[in-house]
Amino acid sequence: MKEGIHPEFKEAKASCVCGENFMIRSTQPSIHVDICSMCHPFFTGKQKLIDAEGRVEKFRKKYAKK
């Protein structure tokens, strides 16, 4: 690797919208994320199905067995 061309890689604080804060390593001093392992459905086991404008019902109606 060439000397002096790479950014400094150090500890950074990551903040999620759910309120969770944790330390990571990054070139940025702080990072704000929308979803983390504390609130992601895959890790929590809580699936939230958000139906925007009846899309789920529309899909089920369209592909329902007749």
Question: What is the set of domains in the chain, with CATH numbers?
Answer: 10-62 (4.10.80.400)
For the CA atoms of 42, 48, 49, 51, the dihedral, rounded to the nearest 10 degrees, stands at -140
Amino acid 21: pLDDT: 93
Q: What's the whole-number mean pLDDT along residues 6-16? A: 91
Question: Residue for token digits 């330390």?
Answer: 23
41-58 per-position pLDDT tens digit: 777 777 665 656 777 788
The pLDDT value recorded for residue 66 is 63
**What would the mean pLDDT of 12-36 be, rounded to a whole number?**
90
pTM above 0.85, yes or no: no
Query: Is the model's pLDDT at 10 over the cut of 70?
Result: yes
CB 28 within 8 A of CB 47: no
